[in-house]
Amino acid sequence: MTSPLDDGVPSARVTGLGWIAGGRFAAERLGLTGSFDDLSELRDELVERGILPAPIRRFAKLDDACRMASLVAGLALHDAGVACGGDVARDVAVLGTSERGCLETNRAFFADYLRHERRSGRGSLFVYTLPSIPASEVSMQFKLVGPTAWLGSADARGRLLLDRAEAMLRRGDSAAVLCFDVSESGGVGLLLDRAPDGPGPVADLAKVRRLAPSLATLEPIVDVVRRAFRA
């Protein structure tokens, strides 16, 4: 796809970025960091520190991709200074990506079905066997009512996600776009908007993209965004 950045029109900006990797987490604009042993412990810590406005609902029932997506989304939203949750709906789109979609949950669902001699699948597993469910889960947890979708590419999914998010902002599909790229062990989430002013430092996305060496995933932009926030 043609990058919408090539025509000189002002780019979107990153207003918040959160990541989880290797037992550590961060909210980059605010400079919050920490470590954890498992995701339940992380969820509890994020609630205690006021990073999550409320516990992630049904956390124990979610699959790993939904847990990770919800947590990095919570970090990114908090980092951007956006208070989400409760009954207040926000016009924020949610775009998710991942290397393997919902492969692990698909595997778990079908293995469980075969273990039960093909009598019945488990509905509580089946509902997570769609690649787009982590994005929908984020929309439910934080009451984000803009478009939601999972986008996949064998090429460069990080670039794809940013291209589509920028296009959505340019078209006015939503006021902001929350993007995430997750796996079972980690993820990156960032909030983009096009508003001219806002609290605290922001990172111009066009500059971020010029400085990021590769966008096969979203991970390479973390260091660049951190530097932009600190500048």
Partner 1 sequence: MSRRAIAVEFDLVSALGPDAETTWGALVTGQSGVRPFARFPAGPARPSNAAFVDGLEPGHGDTLVVQMLRPVLERHRHAIPSDAQLLLATTNGEIEYLERAVAGEPASAKDSVPTVLATKVQALVGLERPGVVVSAACASSTVAIAEGAAMIRAGEAESVLIVACDFVSEFVAAGFRSLGALAPDRARPFDRDRRGLSLGEAAGFLLLMDEHRARAEARTCHAEIAGWGVSSDADHITAPSATGQGLATAIRKALATASVDPRNVGSICAHGTGTRPNDAMELQAFARVFADAVPTYSVKGAVGHTMGTAGLVDAIVAVQSLTVGTAPPTAGLLEPDTDALTWVSASPQSCSPMVALSTNSGFGGVNSALVLRRCEAPR
- Would you count residue 227 as binding partner 1 (CB under 8 A)? no
- Would you count residue 114 as binding partner 1 (CB under 8 A)? yes
What is the distance between the alpha carbons of residues 65 and 106, in angstroms, rounded to a whole number? 12
Instruction: Please work out the total of residues on this chain that contact partner 1, with binding judged by CB under 8 A.
Output: 55
Which of the stretches 19-27, 74-82, 112-120, 177-185 binds partner 1 when contact is defined by CB under 8 A? 112-120
Which parts of 141-170 interact with partner 1 (CB under 8 A)? 142-155, 160, 164, 167, 170
Exposed / middle / buried, residue 19 (Cβ in 10 Å: 0-12, 13-18, 19+): buried
Q: Which of 82-87's residues contact partners 24+ apart within 8 Å by CB, and which partners?
A: 82/15, 82/16, 82/176, 82/191, 83/53, 84/53, 84/142, 84/143, 84/144, 85/53, 85/54, 85/141, 85/142, 85/143, 86/53, 86/54, 86/143, 87/143
Cβ 157 vs Cβ 97: under 8 Å: yes
Closer CB to partner 1, 34 or 147, in the complex: 147
What is the distance between the alpha carbons of residues 46 and 198, in angstroms, rounded to a whole number? 24
Cβ 20 vs Cβ 67: under 8 Å: no
- Would you count residue 25 as binding partner 1 (CB under 8 A)? no
- Would you count residue 206 as binding partner 1 (CB under 8 A)? no
- Would you count residue 118 as binding partner 1 (CB under 8 A)? yes
Look at the block and give the residue holding tokens 């790229």.
Answer: 181
Closer CB to partner 1, 44 or 104, in the complex: 104
Closer CB to partner 1, 70 or 224, in the complex: 70
- Would you count residue 5 as binding partner 1 (CB under 8 A)? no
Look at the block and give the residue holding tokens 């780019």.
Answer: 11
- Would you count residue 65 as binding partner 1 (CB under 8 A)? no
Closer CB to partner 1, 99 or 223, in the complex: 99
- Would you count residue 101 as binding partner 1 (CB under 8 A)? yes
Q: 8, 48, 120, 197: which one contacts partner 1 (CB under 8 A)? A: 120
What is the distance between the alpha carbons of residues 135 and 103, in angstroms, rounded to a whole number? 16
Query: Radius of gyration over alpha carbons of the chain, in Å?
Result: 17
- Would you count residue 135 as binding partner 1 (CB under 8 A)? yes
- Would you count residue 2 as binding partner 1 (CB under 8 A)? yes
CA pseudo-torsion sign 149, 150, 155, 160: positive
- Would you count residue 106 as binding partner 1 (CB under 8 A)? yes
- Which residues contact partner 1 by CB under 8 A? 1-2, 4, 89, 94, 99-101, 103, 106-107, 109-111, 113-114, 117-123, 126-127, 129-133, 135-137, 139-140, 142-155, 160, 164, 167, 170-171, 173
